[in-house]
Amino acid sequence: MRILDLSLPTPAENLALDEALLEEAEAAAQPLETLRFWEPQQYIVVVGRSSRIETEVHRDVCSELGIPILRRPSGGAAIVTGPGCLMYALVLDCENHPVLRAINQAHSFILSTLAQALVPSVYEVCCQGTSDLAYDRCKFSGNSMRRRHRHLLYHGTILYDFSLEMIDRCLKMPPRMPDYRGCRPHKTFVKNLPLSAAEIRLALVTAWNALEPCNDWPRELTARLAIEKYGNPQWNE
């Protein structure tokens, strides 16, 4: 598996690169799997492919604080990311991993791999709900997927030094909540994982055996998607 640790200058470019890596893999003659990390330097709200912004986001607060609202290509509810939140993306080949062809099994397989990678450092880490990672009954990672014919994009957040008050300020209570949440507000439901970004990176790189540097990432497709899709108000709205 390739490893790409790359944060691009703008939110649109960073979301575009995740999708570009998926499309690049789909077009390749051979299986092409990648683990990518990035971390934004500004706060961003990212809504799911089918999210209704007015239902999930405090738009007025985001506007006042200058926080952009963008839409990702995968499902799930809105998230807030920014400094102290490590973003990761996995592009996996479904022929190499047949378990990925069933949605519930894909969530279970990938999240279990991530949890097992982190357990040696934080033994309470476990999978919760459909697509969360948690410890001490609190969520620190939300995840979603985008399927294509041969490959799957699985990406998400890992909070490690994030200003948790930003979640309460920017997001409304989600329209759907897992049972383990128990209707708790964001401030008592979400917490930071007590690891550094470097420790998290190393754990995931080891778990996925991502040892091949990805020097030739899809620059042109990323730039085009950033302009035509993720920088386009029609897509984001």
Q: Can you give the pLDDT at residue 15?
A: 98
Q: With a cut of 90, say whether residue 55 has pLDDT above it.
A: yes
pLDDT band at 123 (very low <50, low <70, confident <90, very high): very high
The beta strand positions in 94-179, using DSSP E, are 126-128, 132-135, 138-147, 151-159
Write out pLDDT tens, residues 181-226.
Answer: 999 999 999 999 999 999 999 999 999 999 999 999 999 999 999 9
Write out pLDDT tens, residues 139-190.
Answer: 999 999 999 999 999 999 999 999 999 999 999 999 889 999 999 999 999 9
pLDDT band at 31 (very low <50, low <70, confident <90, very high): confident
Q: With a cut of 90, say whether residue 109 has pLDDT above it.
A: yes
Q: Can you give the pLDDT at residue 150?
A: 93
Write out pLDDT tens, residues 36-50.
Answer: 999 999 999 999 999
Q: Can you give the pLDDT at residue 194?
A: 98
Distance CA 204, CA 208 (A): 6
Q: Can you give the pLDDT at residue 23?
A: 97
3 state DSSP class of 201: helix
Please list, in sequence order, all residues whose beta carbon lies within 8 angstroms of the beta carbon of residue 12, skipping any fewer than 6 positions away.
70, 226, 227, 230, 231
On the 0-12 / 13-18 / 19+ scale of CB atoms within 10 A, 141 is buried
Query: Please, what are the domains in the chain?
Result: 2-236 (3.30.930.10)
User: Sign (positive/negative) of CA torsion 160, 89, 3, 33?
Assistant: positive
Q: Mean pLDDT across the chain, nearest whole number?
A: 96
Q: Can you give the pLDDT at residue 90?
A: 98
